[in-house]
């Protein structure tokens, strides 16, 4: 079950965190993984790990906010592989701030990466995916559903991700393209460790435990746990699922009172 043999997957932001886990697990399940990321070092390390494990993968240095760069990357993939069956729009950036202290440059950057980045990939991939059908997974967040303090611009972009997901699911259902999104709660990634060490020096363990306990289940998610949900949604076992947003949050949305 959940095999992805003979399918080419594009994973954006595949050089670290959730994207890294998705890239590795999809490759283990037989997919030819195309990792798009601006993180050259991380991306190459992921590719090396996949190839050492007997999988197929290629790294492409690509800024998803640059439409021309995305178009070129997709055209190169099509020229070499002939098709793209799976697209995981995982690349994104975070931001802390409310409506007052979020500056215009930060607001615009969030839009460029988290919203336009997904649009650019959809715009480039869907014309080819229409030929054979396929599956798309977009990375949203619990911040698109519930109010989280000091996440004004970030929450805005993740709400847009859900809207784009529903629109694509509706527009391309007759082309045998499914589109869903995932809304993780807090996930233990290098970003989280970096955030804690930068903002709470000397209190790293205390803050890690505090942030972990904001999930009712009592811990952060592992990147692999998010990747397994993405794998299911991209697999043939999920062939009847489209236009849905899946929280994976340790009870954060429903159980926090």
**Active-site annotation, residues:** 154
Residue 186: which region, alpha, beta or left (left: phi > 0; alpha: psi -120 to 50)? beta
SS3 track for 91-112: CCCCCCECCCCCCHHHHHHHHH
Which secondary-structure segment (H or E) carries 177? strand 177-184
List the structure tokens of 2.
Answer: 């959940």
Q: Which residues pair with 184 in a beta bridge?
A: 248
Residue 89: name the closest of 206, 149, 168, 174 by CA. 168
Distance CA 181, CA 140 (A): 6
In this structure, the number of other CB atoms found within 10 A of the CB of residue 15 comes to 25
Q: How many CA atoms, within 13 angstroms, populate the side-chain half-sphere of residue 57?
A: 31
Looking only at the bridges linking them, the beta strands covering 177-184 and 245-248 are parallel
Backbone angles phi, psi at 112, to 5 degrees: -60, -45
Distance CA 198, CA 223 (A): 21
- State the burial class of residue 174 (Cβ atoms within 10 Å of its Cβ: 0-12, 13-18, 19+): exposed
């Amino acid at each position: 079950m959940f095999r992805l043999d003979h399918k080419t997957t594009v994973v954006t932001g595949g050089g670290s965190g959730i994207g890294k886990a998705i890239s590795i697990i999809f490759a283990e399940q037989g997919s030819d993984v195309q990792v798009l990321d601006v993180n050259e070092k991380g991306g190459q390390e992921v590719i090396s790990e996949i190839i050492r494990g007997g999988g197929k993968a290629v790294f492409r240095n690509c800024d998803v906010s640059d439409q021309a760069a995305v178009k070129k990357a997709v055209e190169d993939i099509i020229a070499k592989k002939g098709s793209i069956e799976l697209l995981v729009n995982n690349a994104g950036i975070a931001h802390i701030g409310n409506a007052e202290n979020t500056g215009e440059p930060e607001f615009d950057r969030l839009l460029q990466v988290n919203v336009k980045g997904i649009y650019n990939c959809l715009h480039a991939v869907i014309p080819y995916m229409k030929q054979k059908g396929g599956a798309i997974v977009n990375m949203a967040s619990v911040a698109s559903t519930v109010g989280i303090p000091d996440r004004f611009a970030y929450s805005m972009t993740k709400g847009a991700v859900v809207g784009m997901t529903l629109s694509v699911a509706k527009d391309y259902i007759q082309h045998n393209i499914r589109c869903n999104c995932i809304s993780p709660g807090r996930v233990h990634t290098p970003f989280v460790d970096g955030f804690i060490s930068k903002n709470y020096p000397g209190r790293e363990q205390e803050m890690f435990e505090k942030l972990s306990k904001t999930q009712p289940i009592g811990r952060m998610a592992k990147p692999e746990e998010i990747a397994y949900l993405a794998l299911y949604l991209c697999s043939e076992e999920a062939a009847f699922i489209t236009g849905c947003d899946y929280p994976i949050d340790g009870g954060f949305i429903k159980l926090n009172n």
